[in-house]
């Protein structure tokens, strides 16, 4: 069944939310906490080893009730069923959206157009397992008989960001293999990687769903050319493997069909790390850890599918995000993990969120008359505190932020971890309470500051507070908890797309730039600038003259 087409602003819940917003917008969170000492009891969710405290939001019980009404009135329940059951909900590409099948149990039956996909999913998983074990154990060797020491993942977008983020996040669990990532068509990127590797001991994993992506094909050809300076053509089969849906193009590249890991068109690029696109993750941390990552995602899938909406973590996060995006006019959301391991989480979720929900046409084909996709950005704490937190604390914009922290550090260093986590707690507290004039004045009095100086300085030292945050406290960063965390955000993205009545699983907006780049490349090659606007012609002429 296709997703229903319901303009959210036409629902009764939306109208009530608008009235409710008008009534509550000037109420501060400080007052809400003051008025209800047990507020946090109402606004927290516990699931597995996740604790979500969403009490530091500009909401009351009525807000949640109305947001839940909105979820019901846009048909979220039916949409979730269609999503998990393999309906063709990616309507503009006529495809199912089934990354959840990739982490489902083997016994599950998930059909796409009448065919159970689980046997194929597990056949590929078993292939990943066998291949990983052979490479990690050293049974599979390079063309001179040496074991592999390095892996290079060649891909871009979803064929790079997921594996790169997960390998970075799980480096504590890593084995001896060095894993590198080449994505940008910038030749300096690939050349910097080439500098670090030895052709005899490096395995190249070319990841491209379509096997037509300019960046990935150019980088693969450059690397193959470099490889063939020391090896023979037939050695390519030993050192290059591919993950793709496009067997013909992969074979034409010289890759042995036995070394192709298939994927399916019902896996979107930005949700593909659960497929063989995650081969580099499996190679880096071993298959069992990779499988645990998938298991964690599967547990979150079950939670999302079965928990009542008022107990459902992804639904709650999505509704809060809609509340700020569409009623408070928030344009962006910050993502602040308090672990250096998650430094690539924000770039990863930028693709997930912004490629999915950066749409302005509703499911009925007409332009939407409300805001959609939020802008996602962020950096780990505490680094971000010393970079952009000033703006969140005292700037003019409302920036809801997710704080993600872990109870246990991986190396057990409590000295560092307690300092890290005291910052984690302090920041959301500071964002909630701010600092009043009276508090600032009391500090001045204590310092014995003159009346004139105090009066001049006071406005700059006041923090209004009332800045919304979600706090997600997870027991420990493990492959399993990372899997759950990523799946949580994937489902948040899905819920938002359903509410905003858009198609979250296509990405037509990235095509135009690709097409223009191809015709501009022809002009650069032939040194003839054709018809452009005056700015583009001016720039191209400057480039050609000075290159």
How many angstroms separate the first and last alpha carbons of the chain?
55
Q: Which residue among 55, 60, 153, 213 contacts ligand F6P (CB under 6 A)?
A: 213
Measured from each CB, the residue nearest to ligand F6P is 269
Catalytic residue among 77, 105, 453, 514: 514
| Least distance from ligand F6P to the Cβ atom of residue 103, Å | 18
Q: Kindly tell me which of 157 and 380 has the beta carbon lying closer to ligand F6P.
A: 157
| Least distance from ligand F6P to the Cβ atom of residue 540, Å | 24
Q: Which contiguous run of DSSP H or E holds residue 472? A: strand 469-476
Nearest to 278 by CA among 201, 175, 180, 207: 207
Helix, strand or coil, per DSSP, at residue 104: coil
Q: Which residue among 57, 202, 208, 316 contacts ligand F6P (CB under 6 A)?
A: 208
Q: Interface with ligand F6P by CB under 6 A: which range of 14-22, 39-47, 150-158, 426-434?
A: 150-158
CA dihedral 488, 493, 498, 500 (to 10 degrees): 140
Provide the 10 A C-beta neighbour count for residue 162: 28
Q: Interface with ligand F6P by CB under 6 A: which range of 15-23, 195-203, 206-214, 338-346?
A: 206-214
Q: Which two tokens stand for residue 487?
A: 């799946």
Place of tokens 């009346």: 451
- Residue count at the site for ligand F6P (CB under 6 A)? 14
Q: Does 70 bind ligand F6P (CB under 6 A)?
A: no
Q: Kindly tell me which of 112 and 156 has the beta carbon lying closer to ligand F6P.
A: 156
**Integer Cα distance of 141 and 546 in angstroms:** 46
**Integer Cα distance of 7 and 9 in angstroms:** 5
Q: Interface with ligand F6P by CB under 6 A: which range of 70-78, 205-213, 298-306, 308-316?
A: 205-213
Nearest to 177 by CA among 208, 194, 153: 153
Catalytic residue among 355, 393, 490, 491: 355
CB 369 within 8 Å of CB 9: yes
Active-site residue, 355 included = yes
**Integer Cα distance of 301 and 306 in angstroms:** 8
The DSSP code for 325 is: I
Q: Kindly tell me which of 60 and 219 has the beta carbon lying closer to ligand F6P.
A: 219
Q: How many residues does the chain have?
A: 547
Q: Does 183 bind ligand F6P (CB under 6 A)?
A: no
Q: Does 158 bind ligand F6P (CB under 6 A)?
A: yes
Q: Which residues contact 62 (CB under 8 A, 6 or more apart)?
A: 20, 24
Long-range contacts (CB closer than 8 Å, 24 or more residues apart) made by 78-83? 78/1, 78/4, 79/3, 79/4, 79/494, 79/498, 80/304, 80/305, 80/494, 82/1, 82/2, 82/3, 83/494
| Least distance from ligand F6P to the Cβ atom of residue 181, Å | 13
**What is the 3-class SS of 124-142, one letter each residue?**
HHHHHHHHHHHHHHCCCEC
Q: Does 209 bind ligand F6P (CB under 6 A)?
A: yes
Q: Looking at residues 449 to 508 of the shown chain, list those that interact with ligand F6P (rule: CB under 6 A).
A: 507
Q: Looking at residues 348 to 377 of the shown chain, list those that interact with ligand F6P (rule: CB under 6 A).
A: 355
Q: Does 132 bind ligand F6P (CB under 6 A)?
A: no
Q: Does 270 bind ligand F6P (CB under 6 A)?
A: yes
Catalytic residue among 386, 453, 530, 542: 386
Q: Which residue among 159, 202, 382, 470 contacts ligand F6P (CB under 6 A)?
A: 159
| Least distance from ligand F6P to the Cβ atom of residue 344, Å | 15
| Least distance from ligand F6P to the Cβ atom of residue 447, Å | 54
Q: Kindly tell me which of 270 and 344 has the beta carbon lying closer to ligand F6P.
A: 270
Q: Does 405 bind ligand F6P (CB under 6 A)?
A: no
The DSSP code for 242 is: E
Residues at the site binding ligand F6P, with contacts judged by CB under 6 A: 156-159, 208-210, 213, 216, 269-270, 355, 507, 510
Hey, which residues are catalytic here? 355, 386, 514
């Amino acid at each position: 069944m296709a997703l229903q087409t319901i303009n959210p602003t036409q629902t009764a819940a939306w109208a009530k939310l608008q009235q409710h917003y008008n009534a509550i917008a000037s109420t501060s969170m400080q007052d809400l906490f003051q008025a209800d000492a047990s507020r946090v009891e109402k606004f927290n969710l516990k699931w597995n080893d996740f604790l979500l405290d969403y009490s530091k939001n500009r909401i009351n019980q009525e807000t949640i009730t109305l947001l839940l009404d909105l979820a019901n009135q846009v048909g979220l329940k039916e949409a979730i069923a269609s999503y998990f059951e393999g309906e063709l909900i990616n309507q503009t590409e006529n495809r199912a959206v089934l990354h959840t099948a990739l982490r489902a149990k083997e016994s599950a039956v998930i059909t796409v157009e009448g065919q159970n996909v689980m046997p194929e999913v597990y056949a590929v998983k078993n292939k990943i397992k066998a291949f990983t074990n052979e490479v990690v154990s050293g049974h599979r060797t390079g063309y001179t008989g040496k074991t592999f020491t390095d892996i290079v993942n060649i891909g871009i977008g979803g064929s790079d960001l997921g594996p790169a983020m997960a390998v970075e996040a799980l480096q504590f669990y890593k084995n001896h293999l060095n894993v590198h990532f080449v994505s940008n068509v910038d030749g300096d990127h690939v050349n910097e990687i080439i500098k670090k590797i030895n052709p005899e001991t490096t395995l190249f994993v070319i990841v491209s769903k379509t096997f037509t992506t300019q960046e990935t094909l150019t980088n693969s050809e450059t690397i193959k050319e470099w490889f063939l300076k020391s090896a023979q053509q037939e050695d390519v089969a030993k050192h290059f493997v591919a993950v793709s849906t496009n067997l013909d193009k992969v074979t034409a590249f010289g890759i042995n069909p036995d070394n192709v890991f298939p994927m399916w068109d019902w896996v979107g690029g930005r949700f593909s790390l659960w497929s063989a696109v995650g081969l580099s993750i499996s190679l880096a941390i071993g298959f069992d850890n990779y499988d645990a990552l998938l298991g964690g995602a599967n547990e979150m899938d079950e939670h999302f599918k079965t928990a009542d909406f008022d107990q459902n973590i992804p639904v709650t996060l999505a509704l809060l995000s809609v509340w700020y995006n569409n009623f408070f006019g928030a344009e962006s959301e910050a993502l602040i993990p308090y672990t250096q391991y998650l430094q690539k989480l924000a770039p990863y979720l930028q693709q997930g969120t912004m490629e999915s929900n950066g749409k302005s046409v509703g499911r009925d084909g007409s332009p939407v008359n409300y805001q959609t996709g939020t802008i996602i950005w962020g950096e780990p704490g505490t680094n971000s505190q010393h970079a952009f937190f000033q703006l969140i604390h005292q700037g003019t914009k409302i920036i809801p932020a997710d704080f993600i922290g872990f109870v246990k550090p991986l190396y057990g260093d409590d000295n560092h971890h307690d300092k890290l986590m005291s910052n984690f707690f302090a920041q959301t507290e500071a964002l909630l309470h701010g600092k009043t004039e009276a508090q600032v004045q009391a500090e001045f009095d204590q310092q014995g500051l003159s009346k004139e100086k105090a009066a001049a300085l006071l406005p700059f030292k006041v923090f209004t507070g009332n800045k919304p945050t979600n706090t997600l406290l997870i027991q420990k960063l493990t492959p399993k908890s990372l899997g759950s965390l990523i799946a949580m955000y994937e489902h948040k993205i899905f819920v938002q797309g359903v509410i905003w009545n858009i198609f979250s699983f296509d990405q037509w907006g990235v095509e135009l730039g690709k097409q223009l780049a191809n015709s501009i490349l022809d002009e650069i090659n032939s040194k003839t600038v054709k018809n452009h606007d005056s700015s583009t012609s001016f720039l191209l002429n400057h480039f050609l003259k000075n290159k």
